[in-house]
Amino acid sequence: MKKIVCLGSLNLDHVYRVDHFVRPGETLSSAGYSVGCGGKGLNQAVALGRAGAPVMHAGKIGRDGGMLRDTLEKAGVDVSLVAEGETPTGHAVIQVDAKGENAILLFGGANREITEVEIDSALDAAEGGILLLQNEINSIDLVFRRAHDRGIPVAFNFAPFDPEDAARLPLELLSYLIVNEIEGAGVAGVENPEAILATLKSNYPRCRVILTLGKAGSAFLGDDGTMVIIPPFPAEVVDTTSAGDTFIGYLFAGLLEGMALKEAMELATRASAITVSRPGAAESIPFRSELA
């Protein structure tokens, strides 16, 4: 089986439970506080590992990030390319409201200090497999180009979305683009889900686009150009923090196993339904056995 290399962020998550998100000028007491492991890169690597996929994580932490490396290892992720530098580990301040929705403030830290040597090491490891990226590390455009030059398929989760990045990144070099409705609309310049998929397919014909739709499920374009919708699985929503990352990890675990895209997305949807029913980031991601 091919392996997947996740070159991505590693964050310490500071999670606050609140009745509502803090408003400008407001001081709000938190009903709960915890520190956990997160970052879109780590979450997606953990999801891949817990899904049973062969996965390696490449990224960077500071001296305070040992628990992040430990979390990856416990999920079955190869951490030999997790480097340690002098810059503090990236972290997130996460508010989770009474409805389970979240608002996140990021500090990039060591995630923004990945060197070209470390990038090349990740590309070496991804030869013959897939490279998975998110938009929380530096030098994304350089990674796209070097991976393309070496014939390595790249999957990119355009999160968090930045309009300036959308204008400058060579998205035409991608093999997979995974976006939610807001990110997809930002890249495509249209808002209707079917129009988003059609526009992105027209703009990037060699790229398979997967669109997540929150409570409406997810979608992609079939071979005949029509939109295929994967409905959501019912779940009691507690915390949506890692729902998208769980979806992506399980999606690529399924694809690596040889599943068709629709089947892999159905697997990913089942896993995400479990994730949203639990509090936390990486700790909320299910193991494959829980999907039985």
What DSSP element (H or E) covers 266?
A: helix 261-275
Q: Which portions of the chain are predicted below pLDDT 50?
A: none
- DSSP type of residue 29: -
pLDDT at 1: 65
- What is the per-residue pLDDT for 29? 96
Per-residue 3-state assignment (H helix, E strand, C coil) for 113-170: CCCHHHHHHHHHHHCCCEEEEECCCCCHHHHHHHHHHCCCCEEEECCCCCHHHHHHCC
Q: How far apart are CA 283 and CA 204, in angstroms?
A: 35
Strand, coil or helix: what is 272? helix
Distance CA 185, CA 243 (A): 20
Q: How far apart are alpha carbons 49 and 149 in whole angstroms?
A: 28
User: In the annotation, is 149 catalytic?
Assistant: no
Kindly report the pTM of this predicted structure.
0.92
Q: CA-to-CA distance for 130 and 147, rounded, in angstroms?
A: 10
220, 261 contact by CB (below 8 A): yes
Q: CA 73 to CA 223: how far, in whole Å?
A: 38
Structure tokens, 195: 């129009």
Active-site residue, from 13, 78, 239, 245: 245
